[in-house]
Structure 1
Amino acid sequence: MVDIEWEVQVPAGGPTVNVTGTVEDVYSQLKTFDPEFGTEFPPTDHNDAIEAPGSAHSAGRQLPDGVPGRPSNGPGPGNWGRVSCSYNSAIHWCNDPLALAPIVPVSLLNRRDAYMYLNHITEVLTAALRRLLCFFGRAISASWKSLPKKRQKLALAFISAGFTVFLVLKLGCNLFYADYWEWETTSRFLGSPSANEIRDNSSNGDDLCDSFPTYHLSRVQVVLKVGSTEPPSRIETHIATVTRCITNLIVFSDHESQIKCHRVYNILATLPDSFWGNSSDAQAYRALQRGEFDTVESSQGWKLDRFKFLPMVERAYEMNPAAKWFVFLESDTYFVWDNLFRLLDQFDPSVPLYLGSPTSGKGRSWFAYGGSGFVLSTAAVQKLVARKVGSRGVYSQPPLNQRYEGLIKEDCCGDSVLGWALYKSGVKLSGMWPMFNPHPLHGVPFDEQHWCQPVISMHKLSLEDMTGLARWEKQRGRKHPLLYADLFEYTEWGNLGIKVNWDNGDWGGWQEPAPSPAHRSLEACREACHNHPECFSYTYHDSGHHCVFVPSVRLGAQKPATLRLSAGWDLDKIKQWRDTHQCRKPQWMKPSTDRIF
């Protein structure tokens, strides 16, 4: 290991100071010149490249690890690993010309570091394998030459036959293996009334629940997580539509209150004092307890959310230990209850199961994205909350929350912490995307992956969509599972035209190279999309004069007039695609973390 020589101006714009060593050493030395050094670019320890921090999926940090400059010495590019500019050990390499870099998601940083590390290991192993193959090649070549011609021909025939069998089996698996089940499921909902009856009772919304299988809630415990800084209208609309029929609904928040006929439990009150101290989280929490809701920013309320996940799972189990399934959702999550119940009827709750939309988490774990909702079997919850017992029946482990107190404080997101805690308990995520969907209704990219699959959940729905979907679900009946293809018809896509101040290309779109005539005007963009076989909708940026093609059908959303955006859809192409993609049977997706959002 070579000591790094750094030339850093302290303070910024001040005299140049020469220091040596790792980032940790640099900070120690520079603080003797300027006690305030490090407040702008705090150092970050990235030593554990593969076991990345739990907040890796969303946080951003400065490079290279907080030092505003790059080393003035070093062995140069290509001499991998001889000089380290990690916080205190050799993981983040100074051979890269890293000067002062922009904020980069720490998930990418850790993946890059891990990639560099694994790439070096791969090079070493490749070289060793090459030598080994050369050795065996020479030995086999000598043996082959000593064989009679007849035996050589037989050996070649045997090798060819074996290779052919391997290819047939491999191709057969790929051709005949389906990533989904074609279950014949039945609805637990009772017979639905006619559309006329629905319109007659539409004034109070009570008809939404007249066919709901409330008896099934003895097996399914539904938990709604909310926050005091959320718009009250959103929570009230959710309880009036999505969770209206959930008679055993448990509502957890960061403040004790009452919403409609539901008691709202302050789940954070179960945490010990060690969680709070005098942090900004503690100050926000105490302000909420004093009823000073206007003094707490919504962003700070969101930060408090990470404290709720572990205690809410534990408390839900304590309140209803007889439940077979625990379903967790948020105030902007929409659940298609009929599809969810059909899905759960296919699984055994005595098996530890964790279902949701997969997101990369800490280390090699995956967690279910909280906004899409997630489901835990009773066996999974039992494994999570279990504590080791020592002699004389005394617990030898602290409670669940205290076991992960440090991680909860440092991580940004509670769904990530919960996923890691389940992973450490031996419960891995069963990824159910796209049935559990992070998109809102206007953001669903209707395509092959969002067509014959049942819709179980969506996220960030508007209040209008929650109300409209709940009533439309009731009206369409529940003879068959609700598929994305059905949801597509709800959007009334046939009425779409060019929309001004609209964007449908902010997710999943691409641009043609700059010389393309598509960028000349809105009409040129429309024509170019029509002529491109993979373009189904488009957005034109008039201010920047560029055209975005979208390979799916998305409703998109309204945007400020100052952005000068216009969006359109190729209705002829969309109709042709829809007519040639009729769903023979529902595709209930098999669990996977390779298939992700």
Structure 2
Amino acid sequence: MLLLSVPRFLWTLPRLLAAVVIIYGFLWVKSFPREIPKQSQPNNNQEAHTGYDDSNINPNRPVDPENVIVAIKTGATEAFDKLPTQLLLTNPRDFGNLLLFSDLEQDLGGFHLHDVLSRFNPAVMANNSDFDIYRKQQEYARLGLDMRLLKDELDTHPNWRTKGHNAAWALDKYKFLHMLELAWELRPEKDWYVFIETDTYLVRSNLYGWLAQFDPKQPYYFGNPTKNPHYSDGDTYPFAHGGSGFVLSGAALRWLAVNNRGAAGRWDADIEDMWFGDYVIAAALYEELGLNLTGVWPLLSGFKPTTVPYGPDVWCKAVVALHHVRPEENSAIWRFEREREDFRHIGTPLLFEELWKQFIQNEDLSAPRDDWDNLSSDFTNINYNILFKTHDPPKNSKQQRSEMNPAAPSEKPATPAEKPAAPQEAPAILDPEASVDSCLKACESQDHCMQWSYSSTPAPNFNENGETKCHLSTSFRVGGRKAPEDIPGQNQTNVQRTWRSGWRKDKFWSWAEQHRCNNIT
């Protein structure tokens, strides 16, 4: 038998191949998701599930944009004022996966607006005066009249709930469920469905990177959990705030639109007695599918650069959606994104810290501002509204601050692990309510106070503080102009409430320098 001479390097070849297989197998297993997203389950306590990891936003491995539908909800009275900016700042490559939903069939250039209310139960609609404006819109369209004139139409069911809102706002709640069903019909079998409004700004790169950590074949309902502070009718479990944007996985929308076909129509008769359309969504998803909201605040936050409560809770968190963004602000954020990505070639997720540096850092906030509300007492600031002691607290402990302890904000029902650590108790002072100057000194005496506001008459803080004049906050927010307003006083007379706001600018600037996120490389 002849022995063939085999080159020595071939003797080690099987070992090399085995090593390659082992290494490849190790890397393959290592590439598995560290955590498999849990399927949403019904929750008897009706609390919002929380739990997303924005550190898993990977801009290098995003979901395919072709499998993400973005639907913008608008109305006939505002569409031609607000939609053009949204469309102008949307990349043309995303037009194919863009849906526009409204309460009137219209065309805006090459874009079609779908009237979702055309699917509403005609019998229910006929006996509901909320649809008076819907019928007027159709008449205005037929006659070629200016639809914006209908903005002055009053709500046909005026009460304390609808104060400050018009008929178009009252009509809005009827759109939501039919909008969801139509989104599936127009773009079926997609992985993700994102619903926003005309004044929502969407950071798509963060959106695509964030969604990549979840399995769209599982039912998900993501959003910014909201509990209205005035709502005392029993329907108080969290729902996704519509303006902040909410997201449904393909599996969730399929369950609603296919497996529960006709669900929207079954709810038509019930919506009149419900307050918000975004609450209608939460109720229907829970009762039809047993699906609860998964809270993703501050990823979807409901804020814009001047209203963000800057501080530890949001500082190094990623931004996916902002709300109440005016067209000119929309443009400014878009330009910042383009500069960041296209010219500075920054590929990491956009963080709230960067919004502060771009839009707030150079704001002149060294002096207090008259007729200005920095949102220290706003219902979105509950988690940061400071309680402070007085030498002579009144009998009603809710009207004066007796201890320092943040409460859960309405825009994010936080779990104990998410709540910021309670700051130290503020030193007692004679009467922070006495004047603007005493309120300012109360803030300066408290190490964690970043800003203050003073209302000329007691105003609510939406927590156990009750109504006060002096409002202190551990968050840093610019806020906006607040004109003097008449409010009900004693003896059925109105009194005027004015606002003055101030900031501890240098203190927050120092904090920001010490808490850099190291996001930009």
TM-score when scaled to structure 2?
0.66
Residues 337 and 502 of structure 1: CA distance in aligned 2, closer, same or farther (over 3 Å): same
1:350 partner letter: K
Determine which of 340, 350, 360 is the counterpart of 1:482. Answer: 350
Structure 1's unaligned 5+ residue stretches are 1-49, 55-177, 190-214, 389-397, 587-597
1:383 aligns with 2:306: no
2:370 partner letter: V
**Equivalent residue number for residue 327 of structure 2:** 463
> Could you tell me how far 1:548 is from its partner in structure 2?
2.2
Calculate the aligned-residue CA RMSD, in Å: 3.1
| 1:93-242 alignment runs, 5 A limit | 180=53, 182-183=55-56, 185-187=58-60, 216-230=64-78, 232-241=80-89
Aligned partners of 2:498 and 2:189: how far apart in 1? Answer: 56
Aligned partners of 2:184 and 2:431: how far apart in 1? Answer: 60
> Could you tell me how far 1:517 is from its partner in structure 2?
5.2
Residues 464 and 218 of structure 1: CA distance in aligned 2, closer, same or farther (over 3 Å): same
Q: How many pairs were matched up? A: 379
**Equivalent residue number for residue 194 of structure 2:** 327
SS of the residue aligned with 2:300?
coil
Aligned partners of 1:181 and 1:402: how far apart in 2? Answer: 37
**Equivalent residue number for residue 566 of structure 1:** 500
C-alpha contact 2:59 2:208 (8 A) present in aligned 1 = no
1:345 aligns with 2:345: no
Aligned partners of 2:435 and 2:361: how far apart in 1? Answer: 24
> Could you tell me how far 1:336 is from its partner in structure 2?
1.2
> Could you tell me how far 1:231 is from its partner in structure 2?
6.7
Aligned partners of 1:335 and 1:329: how far apart in 2? Answer: 8
> Could you tell me how far 1:268 is from its partner in structure 2?
0.8
Aligned partners of 1:290 and 1:380: how far apart in 2? Answer: 37
1:506 aligns with 2:377: yes
1:283 aligns with 2:132: yes
1:277 partner letter: A
1:369 aligns with 2:241: yes
SS of the residue aligned with 2:500?
strand
> Could you tell me how far 1:441 is from its partner in structure 2?
2.9
> Could you tell me how far 1:304 is from its partner in structure 2?
1.4
**Equivalent residue number for residue 429 of structure 1:** 293
Larger Rg: 1
2:214 partner letter: F
1:580 partner letter: Q
C-alpha contact 1:242 1:466 (8 A) present in aligned 2 = no
SS of the residue aligned with 1:528?
helix
Residues 516 and 491 of structure 1: CA distance in aligned 2, closer, same or farther (over 3 Å): farther
**Equivalent residue number for residue 478 of structure 2:** 555
Residues 524 and 433 of structure 1: CA distance in aligned 2, closer, same or farther (over 3 Å): same
SS of the residue aligned with 2:448?
coil
**Equivalent residue number for residue 302 of structure 1:** 169
Aligned partners of 1:182 and 1:216: how far apart in 2? Answer: 19
C-alpha contact 1:365 1:420 (8 A) present in aligned 2 = no
> Could you tell me how far 1:252 is from its partner in structure 2?
0.8
Residues 359 and 571 of structure 1: CA distance in aligned 2, closer, same or farther (over 3 Å): closer
Aligned partners of 1:454 and 1:276: how far apart in 2? Answer: 42
SS of the residue aligned with 1:327?
strand
Residues 488 and 245 of structure 1: CA distance in aligned 2, closer, same or farther (over 3 Å): farther
| 1:27-42 alignment runs, 5 A limit | none
Determine which of 74, 89, 105 is the counterpart of 1:256. Answer: 105
C-alpha contact 2:386 2:473 (8 A) present in aligned 1 = yes
Determine which of 444, 450, 458 is the counterpart of 2:314. Answer: 450
> Could you tell me how far 1:454 is from its partner in structure 2?
0.7
1:315 aligns with 2:182: yes
C-alpha contact 1:538 1:549 (8 A) present in aligned 2 = yes
Determine which of 412, 421, 445 is the counterpart of 2:275. Answer: 412
**Equivalent residue number for residue 577 of structure 1:** 511
1:559 partner letter: K
1:558 partner letter: R
TM-score when scaled to structure 1?
0.58
Aligned partners of 1:365 and 1:385: how far apart in 2? Answer: 24
> Could you tell me how far 1:367 is from its partner in structure 2?
2.5
**Equivalent residue number for residue 531 of structure 1:** 445
C-alpha contact 1:434 1:450 (8 A) present in aligned 2 = yes
Structure 2's unaligned 5+ residue stretches are 1-42, 155-164, 229-233, 391-399, 401-428, 459-467, 486-496
2:365 partner letter: L
Residues 486 and 264 of structure 1: CA distance in aligned 2, closer, same or farther (over 3 Å): same
1:408 partner letter: I
Aligned partners of 2:273 and 2:88: how far apart in 1? Answer: 36
Q: Deviations over 1:459-493 (max 9, x none)?
A: 21222211111111111224111111111112233
